[in-house]
Structure 1
Amino acid sequence: MAEQADVILAVGTRLQDFTTGSRALFESSDKTLIALNVGRFDSLKHQALPLSCDALVGLGQLDAALGGWRGSDEWREQTSTLKREWAEAVHRVTADQGLSLPTDAQVIGAVNRQAGNDTTVVCAAGGLPGELHKLWQCSGPGSYHVEYGFSCMGYEIAGGLGVKMAKPEREVVVMVGDGSYLMHNSELATSVMLGHKLIVVVLDNRGYGCINRLQQATGGAGFNNLLQDCRTVEAGAPKTDFAAHAKALGCESESVSGIAELEQALVRARAAQSTYVIALDTDPLPSTQEGGAWWEVAVPEVSEREAVNKAYQGYREAKQRQAR
C-alpha cells in the first residue's frame, strides 16, 4: 500500500531501512511523505514534509483539520483485504509443524501464544528482529521492545533487565540467539540477585544464522558463521548447554525440543518466581519470505562465482526502485 499511496503519513518512526524497504517502497517521485515526529532529525528524513510535534497532539490537530474527509471505499476495502491475508500468512508461518528443529517464526508463534496482555518481548540482534518486526502480534503499548538501530548483540538480557526494572509489574520475555547469549549473559545473575524475574528463550542455531543467510543471499559460500563451517579441532565445536550455564548463574532452566515442549515450558516459566531460561535448538536456514521487502546489502561487483554475479545483477535492479 505504501507503493501505491500518493500520500504517506509516518507517525513516530525513524524511517529506517526495515520500515522503508531500504527506501524502495517510496519509488514513485510524485509521493508526498509527511513525517510527524517529536524528533526533528527523524521528521526530515527522505525529504519528508516535517511535522515536528508530539504524536498524540499532532494526530488530534490533523483529525480536526481534515473534518469529514475520508479515504475512498475501494481503498478501505483493499486495506481490510490485505490485513486479513496478512493475518492468515502470520498464522501459517508461526504454527507448530512438529519439526525437531523449528524456525524462528515458529518459536515466535509459541512465545506469542503464551504471552498475556502483561507481557513485553525484548530482542535486539540477528534474524529475530526482522521476524518479530513482521510477525509479533502486539497486545498493546509496551508489549514490544526491540533495539535494532545498530543490531546490538548482547543487548537482549541486559536490556530485558532494564525493562523489568522500569515495569516490574510486566512479564518480560527475552528472545535471544546463541551468539548474543554467549556475548553477554552475566545480567542473568544480576536479575536473580535483585529479584527481577525474566523469562529468557535461547534459540540455538549453532552459529550466526542471520549472517549466514545474508552471506548466501549475496552469492557467497558458507564461511565462518555457522559452527559447522568454522575452523575447529577434529572433534568439532562444543555443544553449549545453555540451560546448565543459566542454572550455574542461579536461574531456573531447562532444555526442550520442538514447539510443543517449548509451550509447556513457557507455562512453567510464567509460574516461576525467579528468572527462568529455556533453551532449544532451531533451524539456522529458513526465514519468513511472506511480507518481505527488499533490504539493501551490497554485493561485490566482480567475482569468479556465478552466484555472486547473479546476486549483483539483482542488487542493481533493486537499486533502481529506490526513491531519488
Structure 2
Amino acid sequence: MSEQTLRLTTAQALVRFLAAQYSERDGQEQRLIPGVWGIFGHGNVAGVGQALLQAAATQEADLPYYLARNEQGMVHAAVAFAKMRDRLSAFACTASTGPGSTNMVTGAALATTNRLPVLLLPSDMFATRAADPVLQQLEDPRAGDTSVNDAFRPVSKYFDRISRPEQLIPAALAAMRVLTDPVETGAVTLCLPQDVQAEAYDWPVDFFRRRVWHVGRPVPEPAALERAARLLRTARRPLIVAGGGAVYSGAETALRAFAEATGIPVADTHAGKGAVPWDHPGAVGGIGSTGAYAANELAREADVVLGIGTRYSDFTTASHTVFGNPDVTFINLNVARLDAVKHSAEPLIADARLGIQALAGALTDWEVEEEYREHMRQLIARTGEIEEECFAPDRNTGELPAQTTILGALRDVLDDRDVVINAAGSMPGDLQQLWRACDPKAYHVEYAYSCMGYEVAAGLGVKMADPSREVVVLVGDGSYLMMAQEIVTMVSEGLKVIIVLVQNHGFASIGALSEALGSQRFGTKYRYRDGTSGRLDGDVLPVDLAANAASLGADVLHAATVDDFRTAMEKAKGTDRTTVVHVETDLYGPNPPAHGWWDVPVSQTSALESTRSAYETYVTHKQSQRHYL
C-alpha cells in the first residue's frame, strides 16, 4: 500500500465507499446509505459478507448489516425506509448468486415504479468464467455474458455489471448520482461477480473521501410560470391533484397556504394523501377509481386541473373518465418532464414547494368565487356523511364485521402521527376513500405497484426510518400468506410494529372485481377442492394465521367483534413488542360506494349470462373514456 492507494478487495472498497456517502437538501445532511440488508449465500458470503464483517470488526467503515428473511422482503423494507425519508436516504441490499438475486427483481420493479431509491447488489457468475457453469448459473447459448441478473435491466434506473475491480469507481459514482436524482431515482443495480468481489486492487484513496450529494430544488422558468398563472386565472372550477411529489419535496405548508389563499380544492392520490389534512377546508379527499365523493364530483366539472407531483396513474384518472369536462385543461407542476407534459398539459417543471410558492406569488389578487367555495363545502359535508355510514357497525350485513367498520374502529384508537401501511387487496380502495390522514407520513399505502407481500416488510422499514412513531401494518390474509417472514426480523431487531391481520379466507378485492366482471368470484376463495364440482368451492380451509404469526415470534391478540378489536388495539399500543391483532371480517363486504370506474376489459363474447351482462356495463363506461388532448 502506498500513500496514494489502498489495497482492498472490490467488496471491501465498496463498503468503504458507501459508508462515506451523504445527501443534503436545504442544509440538512444525512447518511445516503445508512446500512446494508442482506442474505448470504455462495456468491456474496466471502465477498460483501466478509467486507461487512471486516468493517464491523476493525471499525474501518461504519456500515451496519441487517439480516432479512426474504430477499424481496428486504427490498420492500428498504423502499419503505426511503419513502419515509423523502428519498434522501436509501439502503443497499445484497443477495447471493442465482435465486437469491432474482428474488429481488420484484422489489426492484416496485422501487422504480414508485420512483423510490434502493441500491441492489446481486451477486453474479464468475467474470473469468474459469468454472463455468457454476451452481445456479443460467447458460444462454446466444450470449456468454448473459446471467439471470440481466432481468434487472428493465426494472432498474441504472444497471451495471462490475467485471473488473476498477470498473467500480465510475459505476459507484453513477449509482449515487441516480439514487439522489429526484427525476431519475428508483432501483439502482450493481451486479457483482463473485470472483470480482474477492479480487484485490490498489484503490485511489480519494475514492473513499466523504462525499455530499446535493439534492437541489429546480425553480420554475418565469415564462412557464406566467403561462400557468394566466391559465389558472381563467378557471371558474379549478381543482388541485396532489401526488407524492408534494410530499417528497416537503411542500405541505406551502400547499395548504395556497389552497387557503386561492380557494382551489385539493384532491389527493395515495402518495399525496395527508399533504393537506383531511379536515382542512380545502381538502376534498382521494380522487379516481376509488376516490371520495367530493373529489370525483369536483373532478367531473373541473375546467382547469393543477397536478402537483402526480404521475396520473389510471387509478388517479379513473382510467381517463374522472375529468368529465370536455374543455378541461391541465397544468402539471412536476420535477420530471415526463409527468409535467401528460394530458397535453401546460408544464411547470420545478420542485413542488418552490413551484407552489411561485404560483402563489403570481396569483396574489385572484381566488375562486364564493359560489364555488359553497359548492365545495356541500360536497365535503356529503362525503363526511358517506364515511360515517361506512364506519357504522349497523352497516354489517353478516355475522362478521365489515372491513370498513374495522377501519372506523382503527381510526378511533390511533393518533395523528401513527403510521398506517397497506399495499394490496380491498383495503387500499377503502383507505383512499375513507381514511382521514392528518400527516402525510402517517399514510403509507404503496399503490404504484400494489405489491402483495409489501406490507409486513414495509412496516420494518418504516419503523427503522422513524422509531418515534407507532407503526400499524394493515394486511389481508392473501398478502400475509405471500410474505410475512420479516416478523422474525422485527423480533430479532427488537422493533415494535402492530400488525392488523384481516382474515376473510380469500381475495376480497379480486373476488369483488371478478363478480363485477361476470366471473363469479372464480378462484378467489381459500377453499377445499369440491369432489363433486371439481372446483375450489368446498369448505373453508382450516388455516390458522394467528398461530403462524405466533410461531414467528410475535405476540398475538384475537378480536371477534369490533369492540374486541378496539380493546386489542389499545393493548397492542401499550406493549413494546411486535404484536399481531387477528380479526375476521366478512369476505363480501359491504364495500364503500363507488364514485369512479376502473378499466378492466370484459370478455366480448361468453356462454355465461353473468359475463354478457357485465360486458354491457363495460361498454357503457367505455363511452365516457377519452384521451385528454
- 1:245 paired residue number: 548
8 Å contact kept, 1:156–1:176: yes
2:451 to 152, 159, 169: 152
- 1:83 paired residue number: 380
Residue aligned with 1:19, SS: coil
Q: 1:239 to 1:42 in 2, by over 3 A?
A: farther
Q: 1:312 to 1:55 in 2, by over 3 A?
A: same
Summarize deviations over 1:11-31 as a string: whole Å, max 9, x none: 222211222111101233311
8 Å contact kept, 2:404–2:592: no
- 2:484 paired residue number: 185
8 Å contact kept, 2:510–2:521: no
Residue aligned with 1:17, SS: coil
- 2:513 paired residue number: 214
- 1:40 paired residue number: 337
Structure 1 residue 209, shift from structure 2 partner: 1.2
8 Å contact kept, 1:96–1:260: no
1:142 to 441, 448, 460: 441
2:355 to 45, 50, 58: 58
Summarize deviations over 1:146-175 as a string: whole Å, max 9, x none: 011122000000011111111111111000
Summarize deviations over 1:181-239 as a string: whole Å, max 9, x none: 011001011001111111100111101111111111011223211124x6267984532
What letter is aligned with 1:3?
R
1:231 to 529, 542, 549: 529
8 Å contact kept, 1:176–1:201: yes
TM-score (norm 1): 0.95
Q: In 2, Cα distance between the equivalents of 1:148 and 1:113?
A: 24
TM-score (norm 2): 0.50
- 2:413 paired residue number: 114
Paired residues for 1:118-133 under 5 Å: 118-133=417-432
- Structure 1 residue 307 corresponds to structure 2 residue 307: no
Q: In 2, Cα distance between the equivalents of 1:241 and 1:208?
A: 16
- 1:69 paired residue number: 366
Q: Which runs of 5+ in 1 are unaligned?
A: none
8 Å contact kept, 2:299–2:324: no
Q: Which runs of 4+ in 1 moved over 6 A?
A: none
What letter is aligned with 2:411?
N
Q: In 1, Cα distance between the equivalents of 2:395 and 2:621?
A: 36
Q: Looking at both structures, which has the greater relative contact order when contacts are Cα pairs under 8 Å and sequence separation is at least 6?
A: 1
Q: Which moved more, 1:24-33 or 1:264-273?
A: 24-33
8 Å contact kept, 1:219–1:308: yes
Q: In 2, Cα distance between the equivalents of 1:52 and 1:287?
A: 42
8 Å contact kept, 1:29–1:323: no
- 1:265 paired residue number: 568
Q: In 2, Cα distance between the equivalents of 1:143 and 1:114?
A: 14
Q: Which moved more, 1:203-212 or 1:38-47?
A: 38-47
8 Å contact kept, 1:203–1:282: yes
What letter is aligned with 2:580?
V
8 Å contact kept, 1:98–1:258: no
Q: 1:287 to 1:58 in 2, by over 3 A?
A: farther
- Structure 1 residue 31 corresponds to structure 2 residue 328: yes
8 Å contact kept, 1:98–1:259: no
Structure 1 residue 141, shift from structure 2 partner: 2.4
What letter is aligned with 1:244?
A
Structure 1 residue 178, shift from structure 2 partner: 0.2
What letter is aligned with 1:309?
R
Bigger Cα Rg: 2
Q: In 2, Cα distance between the equivalents of 1:98 and 1:91?
A: 10
The number of residues matched between the two structures is: 323
Q: Which moved more, 1:153-162 or 1:237-246?
A: 237-246
Residue aligned with 2:502, SS: strand
- Structure 1 residue 284 corresponds to structure 2 residue 557: no
8 Å contact kept, 1:27–1:323: no
Residue aligned with 2:474, SS: strand
2:462 to 154, 163, 172: 163
Over the matched positions of the two proteins, sequence identity in percent amounts to 39
Q: In 2, Cα distance between the equivalents of 1:233 and 1:147?
A: 39
What letter is aligned with 2:362?
A
Q: In 2, Cα distance between the equivalents of 1:179 and 1:134?
A: 22
- 2:215 paired residue number: none
